Amino acid sequence: MKIKNISAPIFHNLYRNKHYQFVPKHEPCNPDSISLLQDFVNKYSKVFVLTGAGVSTESGLPDYRSKDVGLYDRSPNRPVLFKDFVSKIEVRKRYWARNFAGWKLFSSAQPNEIHKFLSLWEQKGGIHWLVTQNVDRLHHKAGSQRITELHGTSYLVKCLSCSNLFSRDLFQVILRELNPDFNVESTEIAPDADVHLNPELTKSFNVPDCEKCGGILKPDVVFFGENVPKEKVFELYEKVEKSDAVLVLGSSLEAWYMLNLMLRVKCPPPGVMQKSGVEAGVILII
């Protein structure tokens, strides 16, 4: 399906919008690179799109690795490890207190031009499937439906014992009832809704167990040290094999399964387009 008519004004907009805040700092986008992307969009009709934290920075959510603005470059804080979360109550108290303080800011983030474009492209029939490493639900907010959240979502809470699943917004109400005097809000946020708080503040934070079985409650997010479910990865292998091209946006592709997905594309050797705009091919990485 030709989507030339919808993509041209959108890319033109991205290039020209003076109010568009580019994060992290970089040189102005090269018009040749935009043309290259435009040609790619026009040429392929069953594109597999993979997005990482870089697509959400314009929505006010930082990524992990960008110089100066990424979480790892600004702060010594690191995401909680799965084994620590499940084995130590003090870690769960700290995690949920920080997540509670950051939820209002994190959940108010809105999709930016990239999310909106991908949703529109899907409506026009150009996207076979979209997989995101992000847990921020911004693709959903923009209207994307053919999507897999590889690392889950911060918008759901899950019991590790009985798989009871419910909304994070509801959990915010429960946490508020259990912690009526905890009045800390943050203006700084991490890609997973974490914020930094004085450790003393978090020690007395009350965290409930699952009301059905007493199990541990955890956001429905794949933590560091935890594996993406195999079934989910196998489903994506099928999706990518039925696609005719791959577009990677805002991901450093450091996770091994991302590289595996790329290697399963049955097509000519991939080209790579980066900020310097070197080559174009079946796989575009931006």
Nearer to Zn ion, 209 or 241 (CB): 209
Let me know: does 156 contact 220? Beta carbons within 8 Å: yes
In the complex, least distance from residue 149 CB atom to Zn ion, rounded to whole angstroms = 22
Decide: is 162 part of the binding site for Zn ion (CB under 5 A): yes
Smallest distance from the beta carbon of 89 to Zn ion, in angstroms? 17
Point out which span in 10-18, 160-168, 255-263, 271-279 binds Zn ion (CB under 5 A). Answer: 160-168
Of residues 101 and 157, the one with the C-beta less far from Zn ion: 157
Told to judge if 151 belongs to the known catalytic residues of this protein, a careful annotator would answer yes
Rounded to the nearest whole angstrom, what is the least distance from the CB of residue 210 to Zn ion in the complex?
3
By CB under 5 A, is residue 267 in contact with Zn ion? no
29 is in an annotated binding site: no
165 binds Zn ion (CB under 5 A): no
Q: How many residues bind Zn ion (CB under 5 A)?
A: 8
Supply 233's token pair.
Answer: 């990865």
Binding to Zn ion in span 168-227, by CB under 5 A: 210, 212-213, 215
Secondary structure (H, E, C), the chain:
CCCHHHHHHHHHHHHHCCCCCCCCCCCCCCHHHHHHHHHHHHHCCCEEEEECHHHCHHHCCCCCCCCCCCHHHHCCCCCCEHHHHHHCHHHHHHHHHHHHHHHHHHHCCCCCHHHHHHHHHHHCCCEEEEEECCCCCHHHHHCCCCEEECCEEEEEEEECCCCCEEEHHHHHHHHHHHCCCCCCCCCCCCCCCCCCCCHHHHCCCCCCCCCCCCCCEEEEECCECCCCCHHHHHHHHHHHHCCCEEEEECCCCCCHHHHHHHHCCCCCCCCCCCCCCCCCCCEEEC
Q: Which stretch binds Zn ion (CB under 5 A): 35-43, 97-105, 154-162, 219-227?
A: 154-162
List the beta bridge partners of residue 132.
Answer: 51, 149
Tell whether 210 is in a known binding site.
yes
Name the residue nearer to Zn ion (CB basis): 92 or 115.
92
Between residue 112 and residue 131, which ones bind Zn ion under the rule CB under 5 A?
none
Least separation in angstroms between CB 165 and Zn ion:
10
Check 115, 128, 139, 151 and give the catalytic one.
151
Q: Which of 135, 159, 247, 282 binds Zn ion (CB under 5 A)?
A: 159
- Note whether 161 binds Zn ion by CB under 5 A: yes
Site residues for Zn ion per CB under 5 A: 159, 161-162, 164, 210, 212-213, 215
Residues comprising the binding site for Zn(2+)? 159, 162, 210, 213
- Residues with active-site annotation: 151
